[in-house]
Amino acid sequence: MSYQAPLRDMRFVLHELFDVAGHCARLGNSLDRELIDGVLEEAAAFTGNEIAPLNRNSDEEGCQLVEGNVTTPKGFRAAYQQFVDNGWASMTGPTEFGGQGFPQLVAFAFHEMLMASSLSFRVYSGLTEGAVLALHKHGSDDLKRDYLAKMVSGQWTGTMCLTEPQAGTDLAMLRTKAEPQADGSYKVSGSKIFISGGEQDFSENIIHLVLARLPDAPGGVKGISLLLVPKFAVNADGSLAAKNALSCGAIEHKMGIKGASTCVMNFDGATGWLIGEANQGLACMFTMMNDARFQVGLQGLGIGEAAFQGALRYARERLQSRGLSGAVAPEKAADPIIVHPDVRRMLLTQKSLVEGCRMLAAYTARQLDLEHAAEDAAACKAAGKRAALLIPIVKAFFTDMGQEVASHAVQVYGGHGFIREWGMEQLMRDSRITQLYEGTNGIQALDYIRRKLLGDGGTELSALIGELSALCDAQTQRPALSAMARTVQTRLGEWRELTAEVIALSQRDAQEIGAVSVDFLQYSAYVLLAGFWLQAAATAQDALDAGSGEAAFYQAKLHSAEFYLRRMLPRASSHREALLGGAECLMAMPEASFAF
């Protein structure tokens, strides 16, 4: 299937909602609107013309493992080299190591394009960027000198090695060992599973960031360290040494993203070096994990955009039956199915979710930028708190959204959606993993309540609700927007009350945290997107009032906002009712009663 980056909507979000050029200036970056638009246009051409055509074949061909070597699908090697040569790999990398230092508010749009064009292809480079973040923040000067420049350029790739057969979510059960050596290095021994890009055929070196236990380390998660374990170590002159004592023992045969190698990695006394302090591995790894979770959220967004485009294209072309009020295209044998209300329901559901999530993604990217480069320490800290609050919502809600939007795409196609050649079923299969890796969505919901809500007694969430409430107040006096503003304001008041109820429930019984977490996250996401749709509607109305020459685009924004508030926001009510049902109905039934 084809993919065309939604440049007009991306420009609306970047320029009209979030003033990306002003944001760049605040960060001390010289990017202006013209340059940003040029980058987006080049990114759209690269992803649409070079990457998207590889997606279907990557699913059919998959990866092959022969004698420990992985062969990626046809076209991936050449495309990755072009990705590196054209500078896309170094887009967000630190400038002192050859990166271009693009803000996340710009880069997220390119990353969405990559996800939409081929999620399998994006997997390889995505984890490298996270590994760069962790190494740049926590690595020694020697490790940075030896590894960062080539990782930033994309010449070398990176992985994240956490999971073991017995240790998934519960990393306290981790067994991989790291034995200290006289020269300051460590010998790493153990097996890791589900390692994305653990072995492939297009980078000179693969740098594994591995969680392991040092001798006499404390038990549980407090005894985990992070080590850099390269496929090939680096000699003093910068050349590559002999292959390290590690290997790919198998690749998984998966439901989706078949073009991305998912490896079992065996470390047999492989040489590695400590990153950060001993027993502080999780703290170091979480630098990478937060970026990874944001990027997985963008995977859901990209899949959703690709599915929406496919469904819209088919709905405009497929002729079936007449409109319920009479023929819309009497000169044709039947009307296009886009005239039918139920098809429009699905398309508008897709459009309002995808575009709503794009606004939230941009807002979150902005906070991630400010966390590291705001004008003072207090502003950095505030942005960091806001980003931390939003990351579990972005990861969980966006990926649930991507799966739903892909499912709607299959439905719009009817029986053809179930057939491989149309591409919709691949999107649905590819999207399923996004709800699982980098912490399942249930784990994200627990994190949202336990760490982000209960961690500060709801202070940061209350501040966010307050900002959205001020937006509503500003729009209530505008006749064209007053009804929308009142609808959102009512939900914000309800969100405050529900937050207090969730905190009270959680303090009475720890089981309530797990019982309410998913529904509270979903409720929060639907109301949060309502706030962004109100902001989009206000911006669109401003443009129309000013006599914009793009009236159709801005009218579509108003229609989409109205649809979201009338047909999507009510979903929040069901999540509210469900979570108020409490934990007792979940936990009271004896385990033996589940089956007879």
Q: Which residue from 159, 438, 119 is spatially nearest to 256, judged by alpha carbons?
A: 119
Q: Are residues 68 and 165 in the same domain?
A: no
Q: Are 177 and 120 found together in one domain?
A: no
Q: What is the CATH number of the domain that holds 12?
A: 1.10.540.10
What is the tens place of the pLDDT at every residue in 11-21?
Answer: 999 999 999 99
SS3 for 68? coil
Residue type, 106: V
Going 359 to 360 to 365 to 371, the CA torsion angle's sign is positive
- CB contact set of 590 (below 8 Å; sequence gap of 6+): none
- Transcribe 439-473 into DSSP letters: S-HHHHHHHIIIIIIGGGTTHHHHHHHHHHHHHHH
Q: 61 and 115 share a domain?
A: yes
In a domain, 150, yes or no: no
Are residues 127 and 231 part of one domain? no
Domain shared by 162 and 123, yes or no:
no
Q: Is 118 found in the same domain as 25?
A: yes
Residues 446 and 540 in one domain: yes
- Helix H or strand E encompassing 132: helix 119-138
Stretches where the chain sits below pLDDT 70 are 374
Nearest to 25, CA basis, from 85, 93, 90, 106 = 106
**379: in domain:** no
Q: Quote the number of domains for the chain.
A: 3
Residue-level pLDDT at 172: 86
CA 474 to CA 137: how far, in whole Å?
A: 41
Rg of the chain taking only CA atoms, in angstroms: 24
pTM: 0.97
Block residue for tokens 């609306």? 12
- Judging by DSSP bridges, how do beta strands 205-212 and 156-161 pair with one another? parallel
**What's the CA gap between 520 and 446, in Å, rounded?**
10
- Is the CB of residue 339 less than 8 Å from the CB of residue 150? no
- Catalytic pick from 305, 371, 438, 460? 438
Q: Mean pLDDT of all residues in the chain?
A: 97
Domain assignment present for 1: no
| pLDDT for res 287 | 82
The rounded distance, in Å, linking the Cα atoms of 201 and 224 is 31
- Distance in angstroms (rounded) separating the CA atoms of residues 342 and 344: 5
- Residue 438: active-site member: yes
Sequence-separated (6 or more) residues with CB below 8 Å from residue 286: none
Considering the domain architecture, whether residues 252 and 161 belong to the same structural domain is answered as yes
Predicted pLDDT at 372: 86
Q: Among 251, 279, 307, identify where a domain stops.
A: 279
Per-residue model confidence (pLDDT) at position 288: 79
Q: Is residue 326 part of a domain?
A: no
Domain that holds residue 69: 7-135
Residues 177 and 60 in one domain: no
HEC sequence for 260-305: CCEEEEEEEEEEEEEECCCCCHHHHHHHHHHHHHHHHHHHHHHHHH
